[in-house]
Structure formats: structure tokens, C-alpha cells
Amino acid sequence: MNILVINAGSSSLKYQLMNPETGEVFAKGLCERINIDGRLTHKVPSKDIKVVRDIPMPTHAEAIAAVMEILVDPENGVIKSVDEIDAVGHRVLHGGMKFVSSCLIDEACKQAIRDCIPLGPLHNPANLMGIEACEKAMPGKPQVAVFDTAFHMTMPPKAYRYAIPTKYFEEDSLRRYGFHGTSHRFVSKRAIELMGNPAESKVIVCHLGNGSSLSAVKNGECQDTSMGLSPLAGVPMGTRSGDIDACVVQYIMNKEKNMSIDDCLNMLNKQCGVKALSNGLSSDFRDLEAGAARGDEACELALRKFCYEVGKYIGAYTAALNGLDCLVFTAGVGENGPETRKDICSYLEFMGIKLDPEANKVRGDEMKISAPDSKVQVWVIPTNEELMIAQDTAELC
């Protein structure tokens, strides 16, 4: 089976053509600068092919057309005809309270995604453009929407409700939703498998990348997660502040007389986090580690603050779960940052968490990194959101 996985952003569109059973990726790539000029980067992993082409992409429709063209290209393509694509799976950011799992796309599903635009104003319109561009390029092809929020819909009200007047929940659906759900689902499922599929399990997943979130998972179901109504909440991230006292917003806006609420939120999303703490040096953990190694105190603070806040969340989620069997690190930093993992786990010694220093050197591979006498298993499990999307798509088509 060939599933095309699409992740459409406002000016970019990532794609992978893959086999949902084996996980083999036949081709993958990125359309960038949609609505500006347009560039396609296309890779065929098995043949070491990398093609970069400037192609006009005034809308997502031209981007998808360019993807279709290169996929069937005799020299750089991997299929003879678009008919060889069995179905398309789309990453969709916000499913609101309507979607507790993935769904086959029809008019009602598209309308529901549209209805969630107030909750995901930046991403949902782009996700819809990706869906409609595929409908145009491949009429009648089955398409599935996989929501970033769906996995978290098992949270109980005490976890998802905000302590604000009830009308904002009842009339406006304002609550904690959480994101990276496809990754949390993939990784927690794998952790439970690695533990031997026990009937009861308590797992905390740390998805630490440019955007970071944690989830507390009991018996395979999400109980709590660190992101909220939007991905701004939780631990400090590459460029996002994470949790912040709302009065900071009031203070900053009063000080910067011409700043609108949108400008302020834009700053909290794009100019804060470890980038701000490193005095603007970088949001990339590799740069921060290099900075700290040459004695840059701001980089050192950025790294220590990040680990401290992640460690605090793990402590809180251990209380929420009333225990912990398995702690998992995933995504760019989680998979590739031994120092970060070590510093985070240094806050958890009281729980009997002990790392194996040799195993913790791992980068990018699945590995148990806890010491044999650790009371809690600690694992690095590489995430694969595209594979999860492809599997959901295959199952629903």
C-alpha cells in the first residue's frame, strides 16, 4: 500500500510517500515559500536522490501539483502514475472537542475542521488548503485527517478545564487541548509494547523538540498534557515562552505603547523561550550547548531553565499518575541530547530514577537508558508521526 502523508503549513507543505506496514519511505520532500515564489526539495532515500527546483507556487494547489509531477517523474519519481497512491493522510492541528480520533474526510469533516479555525487560526486554514489541493489533484482519492489534539481527548475535566468562568468553556470551548498528540500516541504505545504490554501502565512522554510538550499516559490513555488551548503553554521551548503569568502580558503591553495583543502573542510564540534566555543567540539546542561550552552564561541559563522546567513537569505528572513505570524521551532534543536528558533526570533521583551513563550516549535510536537498578524504566524512542498518520489512513480507507 502507498500512502501519501501531507503536513500543510501556511507557506510550506511537507510530504512523504510511504508504506504503512513496513514504514519504508519511498520519497519525501518539502514545498516552501508558497504564496511567495515557491521551491520544491524532493528526496528519494533508496537512491540518494535530492532535487531542488524553483517552481511558482501561488497557492497550495500548485504545490501539490508539483509534488504529483515529481512523484511520477521518470528520472526522480518513485511511481508510474498517481493511481498508485492508495490514499492521502493529512496532519491537522486542531480537532477541537469534535475529534477524538482520525477521520475519513468528507464535507462534514471539512466543515468541522473549518469550525475549529477560531481555536487553530494559523494552522487549520492551511491544513484545509492542503486537503482541498489534494481533492483537486486527485479527485475521489480517499483522504484521512489525523488530529494533533485527538490523543489528548481522554483527559478528565480536572485536567482540561481552566479555572475561568464556565461560560468560556460552554460557549467558546476554551479548555486545555494539547498538541503533538500523534507523537505522544506513537511513542506511548511503543513504550507499553517495550514494557511487555502490561494490563496497567503509567508512562510520561517528553516530546522535546523545537516545540516541546509532555504527556501523562495511564493504561494507554492520556490523562494530562502540558500544552493548552494553543501550543504556547507548558515548558519553555525553542522560541515559545511556555507557561507565563497573564499579568506579564498586561505589563509588557502597557510598557510598549504600540504593541497590539497579536504582536504580544507573536512575541511570546516567536521571540521567547531558550532563544530569549540566550539573549537572542539561538533556539537550536546545538548552538546553546556550543555557547555554554565556551562559557556563555546566557546559553547556560537557557539550558538549565529548560531542564528544570521539564523536570518539574515530570514530578507533577508522576503525582497526577500516582506513580510512574516508564519515562520516555523523544523528538529532536529528546532523541539527540544526552546532556539534556541527564540534567532533567538529575531532578528525579528522589523517585529512584537512575540513568546508565553509557546507554544515555545514544542519539536517534531506540534504547533503554536507565540503569538496571532504576525504579523507573527510562527510554529513548524516536517518534514517527508520519508513520502513525499513514497507519491511521490505511486503517480507515
Task: Provide the residue count of the chain.
Answer: 397
Edge-to-edge strand list for the sheet holding 326-330 = 221-225, 212-218, 202-208, 326-330, 377-380, 367-368
Is residue 338 classed exposed, middle or buried when 0-12, 13-18 and 19+ CB atoms within 10 A define those classes? middle
Whole-angstrom Cα distance, residue 397 to residue 385?
18
Q: Which of 143, 336, 360, 377 binds ligand ADP (CB under 6 A)?
A: 336
Of 78 and 204, nearer to ligand ADP (C-beta) is: 204
Cell 500516582 found at: 322
Whole-angstrom Cα distance, residue 352 to residue 38?
52
Other C-beta atoms lying within 10 Å of the C-beta of residue 203:
29
Residue 12 · residue 59 · CB < 8 Å: no
In the complex, least distance from residue 80 CB atom to ligand ADP, rounded to whole angstroms = 32
In the complex, least distance from residue 150 CB atom to ligand ADP, rounded to whole angstroms = 18
Q: Does 231 bind ligand ADP (CB under 6 A)?
A: no
User: What residue is closest to ligand ADP based on CB?
Assistant: 332
Which residue out of 54, 148, 245, 296 is catalytically annotated? 148
* Contact range with ligand ADP by CB under 6 A, out of 95-103, 186-194, 282-290, 348-356: 282-290
In the complex, least distance from residue 385 CB atom to ligand ADP, rounded to whole angstroms = 9
Helix or strand holding residue 356 (H, E): none
Of 95 and 334, nearer to ligand ADP (C-beta) is: 334
Contacts 24+ apart (CB under 8 A), 298-303: 301/277, 302/274, 302/275, 302/277, 302/278, 303/274, 303/339, 303/340, 303/343
DSSP reduced 3-state for 329:
strand
Site string for ligand ADP, 46-85 (x = CB under 6 A): ----------------------------------------
Q: Does 333 bind ligand ADP (CB under 6 A)?
A: yes
**For residue 291, what is its C-alpha cell?**
555557547
In the complex, least distance from residue 337 CB atom to ligand ADP, rounded to whole angstroms = 4
In the complex, least distance from residue 81 CB atom to ligand ADP, rounded to whole angstroms = 32
User: What is the CA 283 to chain-centroid distance, rounded?
Assistant: 16
In the complex, least distance from residue 252 CB atom to ligand ADP, rounded to whole angstroms = 25
Q: Which of 337, 384, 387, 389 binds ligand ADP (CB under 6 A)?
A: 337
Whole-angstrom Cα distance, residue 196 to residue 204?
17
Q: Which of 221, 284, 300, 356 binds ligand ADP (CB under 6 A)?
A: 284
Site string for ligand ADP, 343-372 (x = CB under 6 A): --------------------x---------
In the complex, least distance from residue 338 CB atom to ligand ADP, rounded to whole angstroms = 8
Number of residues that bind ligand ADP (CB under 6 A): 13
* Contact range with ligand ADP by CB under 6 A, out of 59-67, 100-108, 228-236, 283-291: 283-291
Whole-angstrom Cα distance, residue 80 to residue 353?
52
Q: Show contacts with ligand ADP in window 204-223 (CB under 6 A).
A: 209-211
Q: Does 181 bind ligand ADP (CB under 6 A)?
A: no
**Residue 81 per-residue DSSP state:** S
Q: Does 285 bind ligand ADP (CB under 6 A)?
A: yes
Q: Does 331 bind ligand ADP (CB under 6 A)?
A: yes
In the complex, least distance from residue 340 CB atom to ligand ADP, rounded to whole angstroms = 7
Alpha-helix runs per DSSP H in the chain? 60-71, 107-115, 124-137, 157-160, 166-170, 181-194, 246-255, 261-270, 273-277, 285-293, 297-321, 331-336, 338-345, 385-396
Whole-angstrom Cα distance, residue 12 to residue 38?
9
* Contact range with ligand ADP by CB under 6 A, out of 48-56, 278-286, 293-301, 320-328: 278-286
The yes-or-no answer on residue 296 being catalytic is no
Of 103 and 333, nearer to ligand ADP (C-beta) is: 333
Residues annotated catalytic, as ranges: 148
What residues make contact with ligand ADP under the rule CB under 6 A?
A: 209-211, 238, 284-286, 331-333, 336-337, 363
